[in-house]
Amino acid sequence: MLEGKKILLGVTGGIAAYKAVDIVSRLRKAGAEVRVVMTREATEFVTELTFREISGNPVTVDMWAPIQHWNVAHIALADWADAVLVAPATANILAKAALGVADDMLTTTLLASTSPLFFAPAMNCNMYAHPAVQKNIETLTARGAHIIAPEAGKLACGAEGPGRLAEPPQIVAILDDFFARGGQLSGVKVLVTAAGTIEPIDPVRYIGNRSSGKMGYALAEEAVARGADVVLVSGPSALSAPKGLKTFISVETAQEMREAVLREAEASRIVIKAAAVADYHPKTVAAHKIKKNDEELSITLEKNPDILKELGQRKKKGQILVGFAAETQNLLQYAQEKIEKKNLDFIVANDVTKPGAGFNTSTNIVKLLSRDGAVKEMPLMTKREIAKCIFDYILPDDLGGNN
Ligand code: CTP
């Protein structure tokens, strides 16, 4: 998939800079064209000449060097690239990129680029674990950058732990996989719901649940990464909407979610309902704040519509309908029953009582169940990784999946 792709490689000043030479070599062998931008510090570890020879292209370091090939070099480089990879990425470049600092060729190019961006961090394990570095990684991830996690092992500084640059074959495989998935869902409309709905009691109170929206947002991101036209219908969430969505619809109640979902589902090929929809709402909403006059307060709840069930009833030929089941007992049995009852093609089942699983965590442990009774058990993974596995699992061959 790398054949003909234009990769801009940013090399920063860490001991792993020598491994970037191997990355260039592998990218070129896979058919990619590579241009290298080095920071001044990187040239202390590997010479420009090495990268020029191995990439077959001029190497840029200095903003102010006489211009030979481009009019406005950082803009031209940014526009040229199909993807930008920074490897190794030091703590310094992660901080600058997170802040939007532009004080050399590489940082300026990163700011001017709208291409998919990959960082492969490499540093001492204590530096990597530092909250400042982790916060910068979080900021970059939230902005849509891909982080190629470092490996654990013996580091050049003698310490042991996560911080060693991912191996070049793995980095190249990640880029290859990215381009392979890139156009897979091009022109396909995907509808995702996320987060919990809230049901008002009075003007200041509501009934809600612990859903953060992380799983649904990760699914929307994955669908965007595969080139889909993605509509995300979300209940209240602290997360920012993923970049590249076609439409973002913010709702509060189950009723509002129902209206948006039924409207958008019509033309959607894939519908994934990761939202934690409230099953009930207060029968009456007090017009004014309820005063604590009585020792006991009863609120009568009325059932909400089951949106997923309605989608199952209206499902068109070829539409793929995926539900979620959050359970605390009898996981597989309840999940299987929901597939039947709601006419689903797949259900993602998770036991929310397990450590690292369920609401408001960045990880989850799920089982993927299909209508034909097959069950795929997944280990503890990040929600972003689970999103990738879900798409790999549910997509039929004609949409590039392995199902
Ligand atoms: N769901 C929905 N509308 C509802 C309730 C749930 O669309 N009113 C969807 C959720 O988005 C999820 C799936 O149904 O994809 C299962 O949700 P879950 O809460 O696990 O199950 P329920 O159907 O509510 O059943 P129960 O509460 O009995 O477990």
CA distance 60 to 39: 9
Judge if the beta carbon of residue 307 lies within 6 A of ligand 1: yes
Range with lowest mean pLDDT among 27-31, 51-55, 292-296: 292-296
Averaged over 13-32, what is the pLDDT? 97
Using the mean position of ligand 1's atoms as its centre, give its distance from the Cα of residue 276 in Å: 7
Report how far ligand 1's centroid is from the alpha carbon of 280 (Å). 11
Closest CA to 118 of 75, 89, 80: 89
The pLDDT score that the predictor gives to residue 292 is: 92
- The residue whose C-alpha atom lies closest to atom 17 belonging to ligand 1 is 325
Within a 13 Å sphere around the CA of 160, how many CA atoms are in the beta-carbon half?
Answer: 2
Angle, helices 214-225 vs 168-182, to 10°: value is 80
Residues taking part in catalysis: 157
Least confident of 18-32, 36-50, 154-168, 292-306: 154-168
Which residues pair with residue 32 across a beta bridge?
Answer: none
CA 327 to ligand 1: nearest atom: 20
Scanning 150-289, the segments in alpha helix (DSSP H) are: 168-182, 214-225, 254-265
Lowest mean pLDDT among 18-22, 233-237, 324-328: 324-328
Over residues 158-165, the mean pLDDT reads 88
Q: Whose CA is nearest to atom 21 of ligand 1?
A: 325
Q: Is 247 helix (H, G, I), strand (E, B) or coil?
A: strand
261 CA closest ligand 1 atom index = 7
Is the shortest distance between the CB of 260 and ligand 1 below 6 Å?
A: no
pLDDT at residue 79, as a whole number: 87
pLDDT confidence band for 141 (50 / 70 / 90): confident
Which uninterrupted H or E stretch holds 350?
Answer: strand 346-351
Of the pLDDT bands very low, low, confident and very high (cuts 50, 70, 90), residue 10 is very high
Residue 187 or residue 156, greater confidence: 187
**pLDDT for residue 69:** 55
Per-residue pLDDT at 286 = 96
Task: Give the pair of three-digit tokens for residue 196.
Answer: 């919990």
- Domains, the chain, ordered by start: 6-181 (3.40.50.1950), 189-394 (3.40.50.10300)
pLDDT of residue 401: 67
pLDDT of residue 107: 96
Mean pLDDT score, 288-304: 95
Task: Output phi, psi for 162, to 5 deg.
Answer: -70, 130
Mean per-residue pLDDT, 285-310: 96
The more confident residue out of 356 and 401 is 356
Pocket test for ligand 1, best of 303, 306, 347 (most atoms within 8 A of CB): 306
Whether pLDDT at 176 is above 60: yes
pTM of the full structure: 0.77
Q: What is the pLDDT of residue 373?
A: 92
